[in-house]
Structure 1
Amino acid sequence: MKVLFVAYEVYPFAKVGGLADVAGTLPKFLKKLGVDIELVMPYHPGIENKDIISTGLELSTTRVEGGYVFDIFESTLPGSDVRIFLLRNEELIDSTEIYGGRDLGVQAMAFCDAVTSFAQGRSYDVVHINDWQTALVAPYFEDLDESAPATLLTIHNLGYQGAYSPDYFYRSGLSDRFFTYEGVLHYGKFNFLKSGLIYADLLNTVSKAYAEEIQTEEYGAGLHEVLRFRKGDLFGVLNGIDYDIYDPRTDTRLPYNFSVNNIDGKAKCKSALQQELKLEVSDRPLISLISRLVHQKGLDILSDVINEIVAHGVQVAILGTGDNHFESVFRSISKRCPDMVSVNLLFDQDLAQRIYAGSDMFLMPSLYEPCGLGQMFSMRYGTIPVVRYTGGLRDTVKEFDEQQMIGNGFGFTDYSGGALLEAVKRAVSYYDRKDIWRTIIKNAMETDCSWNRSADEYITLYNSLMNMRKEKSQNA
Structure 2
Amino acid sequence: MNNFLFVAAENDALANCKAGGMGDVVRDVPRQISERGDRVHVVVPSYSRLHQDGVFKTTLNFSLRGLAYTAELYEVKPKKEYPNIIHYVIHHPEIEAGDIAHIYHNDPEEPFFTDAVKYFIFCTAVAEAIKEKAFGKLDIVHLHDWHSSLFLFLRAYHKDYKKIKDIRVVYSIHNLAIQGIRPFKDNYSSLQNWFPDITIDYMALMDYRYQDCINLMAVGIRLADAVHTVSPSYKDDVLLPSSPPEFIGGESLEKDLQKAEEEGRLFGILNGCNYKNINKEEKGFIYRNTVKALFRWLQEESKKYKADFLAHTGEKTMEYVDNRPKFIVSSVARLTEQKFYFFKRSPEAFVAILEKLKKVDGIFMLLGTGAPEYEELFRELSYKHKNFIFTNGQSENLIDSIYLESDLYFMPSLFEPCGISQMLAMRNGNPCLVHHTGGLKDTVTHMKTGFSFDGDTYDEKIKNMLECFDVALDVYANDKPTWKKMQTAAKKMRFTWEKSVDNYYKYLYNFS
Interval of TM-score (by shorter of Structure 1 and Structure 2): 0.7 to 0.9
CA contact 2:428–2:491 (8 Å) conserved in 1: yes
Contact 1:309/1:424 (8 A) holds in 2: yes
1:57-111 per-position Cα deviation (integer Å, ceiling 9, x unaligned): 1112356643421111112433323211100012343546311297221221121
Report the CA distance between 1:459 and its aligned residue: 1.6
Does residue 44 in structure 1 map to residue 82 in structure 2? no
- Map Cα deviations across residues 321-365 of structure 1 (whole Å, 9 max, x no partner): 123333233223322332x11011111122111101111011110
The aligned amino acid for 2:265 is: D
Q: Is the 8 A contact 1:64 1:113 kept in 2?
A: no
Pairing of 1:2-151 with structure 2 (within 5 A) = 2-11=3-12, 12-13=14-15, 14-47=17-50, 52-62=53-63, 65-79=66-80, 80-81=82-83, 82-93=85-96, 95=98, 97-100=102-105, 103-120=114-131, 121=133, 122-143=136-157, 144-145=162-163, 148-151=166-169
Q: SS where residue 103 of structure 1 aligns? A: helix
Q: Distance in 2 between matches of 1:228 and 1:255?
A: 48
Query: Given that residues 398 and 410 in structure 1 are in contact (C-alpha distance below 8 angstroms), is that contact kept between their aligned partners in structure 2?
Result: yes
Q: Which residue of 1 aligns with 2:329?
A: 287
Q: d(CA) in 2 for partners of 1:393 and 1:10?
A: 24
Shift of 1:148: 3.2
| Aligned counterparts of 2:152 and 2:79: Cα–Cα separation in 1 | 29
Question: Structure 1 stretch 52-61 or stretch 153-162: which is displaced more?
Answer: 52-61
Residues 151 and 202 of structure 1 are in contact (CA less than 8 Å); yes or no, is this contact kept in structure 2? yes
Which stretch of structure 1 is more off in the superposition, 381-390 or 93-102?
93-102
Cα distance in 1, alignment partners of residues 329 and 492 from structure 2: 20
If the length of structure 2 is used for normalisation, what is the TM-score?
0.80
The CA distance in 2 between the partners of 1:397 and 1:135, in whole Å, is 32
Corresponding residue for residue 299 of structure 2 = none
Q: Percent of pairs identical after alignment?
A: 25
SS of structure 1 residue aligned to 2:37: coil
Residue of structure 2 in register with 1:304 after alignment: 348
CA contact (8 A) 1:55 1:74 kept: yes
The Cα of 1:272 is off from its aligned counterpart by 6.7
Alpha-carbon separation, structure 2, partners of 1:179 and 1:67: 24
CA RMSD of aligned residues (A): 2.4
1:392 CA drift (Å): 0.6
Q: What is the CA deviation profile of residues 348-387 of structure 1, one whole-angstrom value per residue up to 9, with x for unaligned ones?
A: 1221111011110111101111111110110011121100
Displacement of 1:118 in angstroms is 1.5
Question: Which of 485, 491, 509 is equivalent to 1:445?
Answer: 491
Equivalent pairs counted in the alignment come to: 441
For residue 421 of structure 1, what is the amino acid of its counterpart?
Answer: L
What is the CA–CA distance in structure 2 between the aligned matches of 1:275 and 1:176, rounded to whole Å? Answer: 56
Q: Is the 8 A contact 1:269 1:357 kept in 2?
A: no
The one of 181, 203, 222 aligned to 1:181? 203
Q: Within 5 Å, which residues of 2 pair with 1:203-242? A: 203-218=227-242, 219-231=249-261, 232-242=264-274
| Aligned ranges 1:305-384 → 2 under 5 Å | 305-313=349-357, 314-338=362-386, 340-384=387-431
Equivalent pair of 1:64/1:110 in contact (CA under 8 Å): no
Q: For residue 282 of structure 2, what is the amino acid of its counterpart? A: P
The answer to whether the 8 A contact 1:2-1:124 is kept is yes
Shift, 1:177, TM fit: 6.1
SS in 1 for 2:235: helix
SS in 2 for 1:343: strand
Segments of 5+ residues of structure 2 without an aligned counterpart are 107-112, 243-248, 293-316
Counterpart of 2:443?
396
Q: Residue 450 of structure 1: CA displacement? A: 2.5
TM-score by length of structure 1 reads: 0.86
**Would the alpha carbon gap of residues 154 and 217 (structure 1) be closer, same or farther in structure 2, given more than 3 Å must change?**
same
The correspondence for 2:465, drawn from 420, 444, 467, is 420
Asked whether 1:171 is paired with 2:193, we answer yes
Distance 2:149 2:226 in 1: 12
Match of residue 409 from structure 1 = 450
Alpha-carbon distance between aligned partners in 2 of 1:412 and 1:173, rounded to the nearest angstrom: 48
Q: Distance in 1 between matches of 2:228 and 2:194?
A: 25
User: In the aligned structure 2, how far is the partner of 1:195 from the partner of 1:64?
Assistant: 21
| Contact 2:62–2:69 under 8 Å retained in 1 | yes
| Partners of 1:211 and 1:424 in 2: CA distance | 28
Kept in 2, the 8 Å contact 1:9–1:19? The answer is yes
Residue equivalent to 2:109: none
**Are the equivalent residues in 1 in contact too, given 2:449–2:487 (CA < 8 A)?**
yes
State the SS of the aligned residue for 1:136: helix
Return closer, same or farther for 1:152/1:279 CA change in 2, 3 Å cut-off. farther
**Using the alignment, how far apart are the partners of 2:219 and 2:502 within structure 1?**
27
Q: CA deviation at 1:270?
A: 6.6
Q: For residue 160 of structure 1, what is the aligned residue in structure 2?
A: 178
Cα deviation, 1:155-196, whole Å, max 9, x if unaligned, reads 000011111111222234388565232344543211111111
Task: Give the whole-Å Cα distance in 1 for the aligned partners of 2:198 and 2:207.
Answer: 12
Structure 1: 5+ residue stretches without partners: 257-267, 401-406, 468-476
Q: Distance in 2 between matches of 1:174 and 1:23?
A: 32
Correspondence for 1:474: none
Equivalent residue letter for 2:252:
G
Distance 2:509 2:23 in 1: 24
Query: Structure 1, residues 131-162: CA drift from partner, whole Å, max 9, x if none?
Result: 00101111222331475311000000001111
